Amino acid sequence: MIGAERNQPAFRVIAFYTAREDQAHISFVQEARRWFPQMALKYQFRFDTTSDWRNLNPRFLSQYDVVVFLDTRPEDPAQRAAFRTYMEHGGAWMGFHFAGFALTPSVYPADWDWYHNTFLGAGSYVSNTWRPTSAVLRVEDRAHPATRHLPATFTSAPNEWYRWERDLRQNPDIDILIAIDSTSFPLGTGPKPNEIWHSGYYPVVWTNRHYRMIYLNMGHNDIDYEHKYDETNRTLSYTLNNTVQDQLIVDGLLWLGRKQ
């Protein structure tokens, strides 16, 4: 576990991660574990990490103001129940990319109705763009604390973008903060035609008005997949150290941690 020690931190953050399978997600987790402690020092909060999901229990969570899911979600029923209770009693959460994934059949099936349908509101994953590419993103809600310092549009870091089962625009509980701007199309390079988007509405950052939470669909670095067996899965792009995107993440975390 790593931490940015402060005698009296403004708030305390615990980031859960798995980092075992997809090298693009592992790359992001490694990057995040370097970057967040730097932000903790700068903004005077405490940041810890754990890959032991057994820590997702009431006693452990009571030590923290914000929970972050860097790449996955809990699978154990007791851990899921502890997280739901934490959120329903004023806890805060930030989730990245694969933390929102659910698909049946897969290793991460759509078997947690509250999390995917009520909390996130997106339902199951449907499809994605490929290869990981930057996109022009449009700020949909410029009054929110997470977005008020952002320009109207900005260019993201490269990412694999997700499409969801449910139309978040139809959910009154969801506040869409950022979506893909139409100037991004065509988005993706293929080679599969269905992995290149030419039109549509795709939210990438949103909150649920009933919880202190924010989900960001960023967190999939590009990897040298073509040489993954004779090299070391070299990272070709990074999620963090994109100035505007970093501002979004920091402001989102400060909003969650400071509670007002």
User: For position 68, what pLDDT does the model report?
Assistant: 99
User: For position 21, what pLDDT does the model report?
Assistant: 83
Contact 14, 92 (CB under 8 A): no
Contact 138, 181 (CB under 8 A): yes
User: For position 177, what pLDDT does the model report?
Assistant: 99
- 4-23 b/e with 16+ CB inside 10 Å = b? beeeebebbbbbbbbbeeeb
Contact 18, 51 (CB under 8 A): yes
Report residues of the chain scoring pLDDT below 50.
1-6
Residue whose pair of structure tokens reads 């100035």 in the numeric block:
243
User: For position 102, what pLDDT does the model report?
Assistant: 98
Contact 4, 215 (CB under 8 A): no
User: For position 226, what pLDDT does the model report?
Assistant: 76
User: For position 233, what pLDDT does the model report?
Assistant: 74
User: For position 15, what pLDDT does the model report?
Assistant: 98
Strands, E assignment, 123-228: 125-128, 136-139, 153-155, 162-164, 174-180, 203-208, 212-216
Closest to 150 measured CA to CA, from 177, 118, 116 = 177
The β-bridge relationship of strands 12-16 and 46-50 is parallel
User: For position 5, what pLDDT does the model report?
Assistant: 45
User: For position 229, what pLDDT does the model report?
Assistant: 54
- Cα separation, 162 vs 219, in Å, equals 11
Q: Where are the domains of the chain?
A: 12-127+205-258
Angle between helices 23-43 and 243-258 (to 10 degrees): 60
Query: How open is the CA angle 84-100-209, to the nearest 5 degrees?
Result: 55
User: For position 6, what pLDDT does the model report?
Assistant: 46
Contact 120, 222 (CB under 8 A): no
Options 1.10.150.20, 3.90.1640.10, 3.40.50.150, 3.40.50.880; CATH of 12-127+205-258: 3.40.50.880
User: For position 225, what pLDDT does the model report?
Assistant: 79
Give the helix/strand (H/E) hosting 15: strand 12-16
Closest to 47 measured CA to CA, from 93, 3, 96 = 3
Q: Kindly tell me the number of DSSP H helices and DSSP E strands found in the chain.
A: 5, 11
pLDDT tens for residues 198-235? 999 999 999 999 999 999 999 999 999 776 555 567 99
Contact 30, 237 (CB under 8 A): no
User: For position 90, what pLDDT does the model report?
Assistant: 97
User: For position 231, what pLDDT does the model report?
Assistant: 58
The β-bridge relationship of strands 153-155 and 212-216 is unpaired
Residue 118 in tokens:
């009520």
